[in-house]
A and B are shown apart, each in its own frame.
Chain A
């Protein structure tokens, strides 16, 4: 099924995520120009090294400053095909922006993510209005690659392959492509519309998308290995892990990604007015996200209960501060032991202190469990190996699994990092495939007169 035919472009406006405004609104032309002119155009810049995809950040910002938006967007996309969504969802404070030399000068660092959003957005608008394309795919070379999952990892891989004349066929079990960019990332960073526009653009370079097809159920993995020149596994992570404690089964207890997905995607979904307080279990970014989302949606009291201390938590400091701004509080050193119910209704979360061993009840109407997601990709195919945490083992450089024709990337190999990590995995896998067939990839902006 092609993108146009599947009908996934018609989105209901009746989704809770539409209640969230952008935490970092889009720049106007003049705002972008002012910020771009501030960039020092550092050489061998630390921001480039802090970006997992290694975008030439000073170059793309300089091009915004000179009004070369098209060139700017190309500089971005050449390194990161998901430059449009990563501009909005990347934890820039711990990546590029955190590395900006202005931090050392006690000046506000350059807002790289917002500039990247500006360049990619304006360039894609201009593609529509001016009738040119940033990238022209090379003629077909007869190679076919199957990609499992239509999340960021596969989408990046497919786009680079398509530009090189390979035919990518993406199999996605859901009705919607986009993976967690559509179902997971916080709505104050990115709405479905933005994520879908990006998917459409990526697919427009010539990728075949087949939604509603689950590999391992509808089609055997082995079949893909047989039918295609290579297979890319970008299946992400599985469903939410649960605590396995009494009272967990039943209404009022949510897996975090399940609830986030309801908020973001489900037409007509709303929070029952009876939900006045919620407890979130976990200490990662998903816990911080859902806590902030609930608080922003009007849940009066949102508490995160974490088994260790904030210093040890995997969630980012800036995200914790972000949640705190909406009244979210975090209590340290607590182990969940039981969801206390009154009849069907959740009454409280019972925990014991890891310090004193005492048991305490935190009254709440909902409990959200955000302690991680299952790893499932390793089970799909016997030709790949997984590590102790269930992560698919790949060659560090090529992203090849035990079967050299099967590549993998994204959350299924790293256990759950960021969109930008999935993007670089997809790129590197695509380039490794091309190398294995004796074709060199890109660069896509070769200009007459430049030495190759």
Chain B
């Protein structure tokens, strides 16, 4: 069993799995149950001047029958009294001294920041997370993402907090910016001990087509909300990777956004996250989802021969490059395994209409015109498939085949294929060495 414990800029926790600030960390009772279930840390629901929340607050995108591919919310920060929250933080820390409790904070004036930092420390929080990310409700009041979108303001507030705080300070970034490096680097310059990202993405989740009210509806109206859940994971990973490989970002990062299972979490860790935070997946499945995360990560580390989770952090970062550095001499082509093909023809139509017209069936002439008069009428016989096999009911399975000379190796067919392992992308052997666009530019060829 590998060592899962981490030390994120001085915040220690028995494993890298933290709850993100949100409904799952709204109260001490919840956080205690979460720790019992196996979570290593929790970022408390953002504290500030208590506000009033609306009802309803959430909307979701389902995808082909799978519920909550993306979640959108118009919830603000805590609506419970600060005093109650601090009492509960104290109680949680007393009972779980080894777990990480991070107070998420959002206030306005310098004085308010001084006050809330002090109260958080008195309550025993292990660290602070400055919520510069909330994209609705709070930003209109000059907080949340309106800070996160202004690197100068962000750096200044960070430096205020650093002035008052004796515990580590994380800055939580909003993805609603042109370049995540601007606020990320500003936070580091302002003195942040660590970064967390992403907060939610500005969104409208849907429109009720009966009454034409956007969702989630508050009476007959709605407002823009913050998008999160599995759908935002690729956006979060890009921002994480961009920060992780930037030499100016010298502090550890807590990765957030769409993490639902141990695989997602492991990808974030490999892309440079020291800890990961989860909100939507817990809202969907409960605290119990962490059991699979712990055991899945553990077995993964064992299989990779890594004795500690810290050895995994950032292993994928050196392989995250600019486009201009990629090898232009590397080529793959699609191969369809006739044995496992079920004959759905999804690769065929995808390539025909959505890619480069190089998958064929032997059901009559090719429907595409390639500018080669003989091609459409007569698919090349040497790439004809082997014998067709039969389906369970005895019907022949029509196996499409790839014209390998035409295939440009885009992956689309292998992405649409419903049968795992049926379409593989095979590397075309080449004697040419690696040559990138940058190399060509350097050689004066481009």
B36 at interface, CB cutoff 8 A: yes
Q: A1-55: which have CB < 8 Å to B?
A: 29-30, 33, 37, 41, 43
Of A59, A68, A70, A445, chain B has the most CB atoms within 10 Å of the CB of: A68
- Say whether, besides A30-B419, A43-B286, A449 and B296 are in contact (CB < 8 Å): no
Please give the distance in Å from B309's CB to the nearest CB on chain A: 10
B1 at interface, CB cutoff 8 A: yes
- Contact present for B1 and A66 (CB under 8 Å): no
B227 at interface, CB cutoff 8 A: no
- Contact present for A447 and B1 (CB under 8 Å): yes
Q: How far is the CA of A63 from the CA of B263 in the complex (A)?
A: 11
B4 at interface, CB cutoff 8 A: yes
A130 at interface, CB cutoff 8 A: yes
- Contact present for A62 and B292 (CB under 8 Å): yes
B426 at interface, CB cutoff 8 A: no
Q: How far is the CA of A77 from the CA of B222 in the complex (A)?
A: 50
List residues of chain A with CB within 8 A of the CB of B262. Answer: 66, 68
B371 at interface, CB cutoff 8 A: no
Q: How far is the CA of A30 from the CA of B423 in the complex (A)?
A: 13
List residues of chain B with CB within 8 A of the CB of A74. Answer: 295
Cross-chain contact of A449 among B285, B292, B294, B421 (Cβ < 8 A): B294
Interface size class of A (residues with CB under 8 A): 20 to 34
Which of B71-79, B198-206, B298-306 is the contact stretch?
B298-306
Please give the distance in Å from A73's CB to the nearest CB on chain B: 11
B184 at interface, CB cutoff 8 A: no
List residues of chain A with CB within 8 A of the CB of B438. Answer: none
- Contact present for A63 and B35 (CB under 8 Å): no
Please give the distance in Å from B35's CB to the nearest CB on chain A: 6
- Contact present for A448 and B1 (CB under 8 Å): yes
B291 at interface, CB cutoff 8 A: yes
**Proximity string of chain B (381-421) to chain A, C-beta cutoff 8 Å, 1 when within and 0 when not:** 00000000000000000000000000000000000000111
List residues of chain B with CB within 8 A of the CB of A71. Answer: 292, 295-296, 299
List residues of chain A with CB within 8 A of the CB of B17. Answer: 449
- Contact present for A68 and B14 (CB under 8 Å): no
Please give the distance in Å from B175's CB to the nearest CB on chain A: 25
B22 at interface, CB cutoff 8 A: no
- Contact present for A447 and B292 (CB under 8 Å): no
- Contact present for B294 and A59 (CB under 8 Å): no
Q: A393-452: which have CB < 8 Å to B?
A: 445, 447-451
- Contact present for A63 and B298 (CB under 8 Å): no
Cross-chain contact of B420 among A33, A62, A68 (Cβ < 8 A): A33
Residue of B nearest to A58 (CB): B288
B223 at interface, CB cutoff 8 A: no
- Contact present for A63 and B292 (CB under 8 Å): yes
List residues of chain B with CB within 8 A of the CB of A43. Answer: 286, 288
- Contact present for A66 and B15 (CB under 8 Å): no
B40 at interface, CB cutoff 8 A: yes
- Say whether, besides A43-B286, A66-B262, A449-B14, A59 and B291 are in contact (CB < 8 Å): yes
Cross-chain contact of B263 among A59, A67, A449 (Cβ < 8 A): A67
B216 at interface, CB cutoff 8 A: no
List residues of chain A with CB within 8 A of the CB of B296. Answer: 63, 66-68, 71
B267 at interface, CB cutoff 8 A: no
Residue of A nearest to B99 (CB): A449
B3 at interface, CB cutoff 8 A: yes
Residue of B nearest to A451 (CB): B36
List residues of chain A with CB within 8 A of the CB of B292. Answer: 59, 62-63, 66, 68, 71
Interface residues of chain A, those whose CB is within 8 Å of chain B, are 29-30, 33, 37, 41, 43, 59, 62-63, 65-68, 70-71, 74, 130, 132, 445, 447-451
Of the A-B pairs whose beta carbons lie under 8 Å apart in the complex, a sample of 22, sorted by A's number, is: A30-B420, A33-B420, A43-B286, A59-B292, A65-B261, A66-B262, A66-B292, A66-B296, A67-B263, A68-B262, A68-B292, A68-B299, A71-B292, A71-B296, A74-B295, A447-B38, A447-B295, A449-B13, A449-B15, A449-B38, A449-B294, A451-B35
Q: A30-B421, A66-B262 are in contact. List 6 more A-B contacts (CB 8 A).
A: A33-B420, A62-B289, A63-B296, A448-B4, A449-B5, A449-B17
